[in-house]
Amino acid sequence: MPRPFVKNDERINRNGRPPGASVEVKLIRAAIVDILSENLPKIRADIKTLKPVERLNFIEKLLRLTLPPVPPENFLEGLSDQDLDKLINYLKTELNEKEIRKN
């Protein structure tokens, strides 16, 4: 049985492993992508056979995995006036660029 960490043990990596550094994790992710790619037509067909509620639940789960989390409703209250000005200017710039691209 392995013994627990001992205080001041020199073998302990105090910085930890950086996120995504594990080769195994990268291999598993690649395998999942391959499986999904190979089965995409079957997955699409299966989705069509679901009941509407089941289909919505499935889509919601996919969205949770792919989209960033929605900030809380009081998110803007925590921003300073300077941060709010930056956000407003950013949104104005984005909207203007979309209008230019549209025309």
pLDDT, tens digit, for every residue of 10-43?
777 777 777 666 777 788 889 999 999 999 999 9
What is the structure's pLDDT at 41?
94
| 1 vs 2: which has the higher pLDDT | 2
Taking residues 57-67, what's their average pLDDT? Answer: 88
The SS3 assignment for 87 reads helix
Q: Are 58 and 50 in contact (CB under 8 A)?
A: yes
Stronger pLDDT, 76 or 40, i.e. the higher one: 40
- DSSP letter for each residue of 16-58: -PPTT--HHHHHHHHHHHHHHHHHHHHHHHHHHHS-HHHHHHH
This model's pTM is above 0.75: no
Residue 58 makes CB contacts below 8 A (sequence gap 6+) with 47, 50
